[in-house]
Amino acid sequence: MSAFRTAAAALALVATTLPASAQELPQMSEAEVNAVALYAMPHAFRALQTRCATQLPGSAYIRTRGDALAGRLDQASRGRFPAARAALTRMVTAENPQMAALLGQLPAENIEPLARELIAGKVQSEVQLTDCARYNRVLELLDPLPAENLASLMGVLVTEAQGRSRAAATTTGTSRR
């Protein structure tokens, strides 16, 4: 895994649990990615802490300073669900179209707890235990950044990756003609 992909994967899991590939995402603006990242980061990070707890030594960043990061992420996340809801809904329904009907039937107050559980479940299912040390190292390096900067960084990385994916698809489509 390249250094860029490792950093992007760690940011993706911690910030939003986005799919590993930008092609798997619905097209999103940088502002939408920022909103999703700010909302999802604490839920994703806590799931990562749980997933990796037995794989890391007691001195690991996630185990020693992770609770402080979780607190900062929680604080930045407060009140962010309304801004993230539409983009999260598009992400979920792009991955599982049947969810659109379910989400349409749920009362608004039930959607946020469901979103938290989906985020945590995605991290729990996608993080490979063998990658915990890499995530720990990337998070330790990113620790000085405020949550808002982490979300902005995600916005830049995801929209850049989506732009490159579109450009590659256009080039590939043109070369086949």
Residue-wise pLDDT for 81-113, tens only, equals 998 988 888 888 887 888 888 887 888 788 899
Q: What's residue 69's pLDDT?
A: 93
Q: What's residue 132's pLDDT?
A: 95
**Is 83:35 a contact under the CB 8 Å cutoff?**
yes
**Where do the structural domains in the chain lie, given as residue ranges?**
3-175
Q: What's residue 93's pLDDT?
A: 84
Comparison of pLDDT for 40 and 99, the residue scoring more: 40
Q: What's residue 39's pLDDT?
A: 93
Comparison of pLDDT for 91 and 43, the residue scoring more: 43
Tens-place pLDDT, residues 136-171: 999 999 999 999 998 888 888 888 887 777 677 677
pLDDT over 70 at 4, yes or no: no
Number of CB atoms found within 10 A of residue 150's CB: 24
Q: What's residue 38's pLDDT?
A: 92
Q: What is the mean pLDDT of residues 114-130?
A: 91
| 33: phi then psi, degrees, rounded to nearest 5 | -60, -40
Comparison of pLDDT for 76 and 10, the residue scoring more: 76
| 54: phi then psi, degrees, rounded to nearest 5 | -85, -5
How would you class 10 by CB atoms within 10 Å of its CB: exposed for 0-12, middle for 13-18, buried for 19 or more?
A: buried
Comparison of pLDDT for 68 and 12, the residue scoring more: 68
Tens-place pLDDT, residues 54-79: 999 999 999 999 999 999 999 999 99
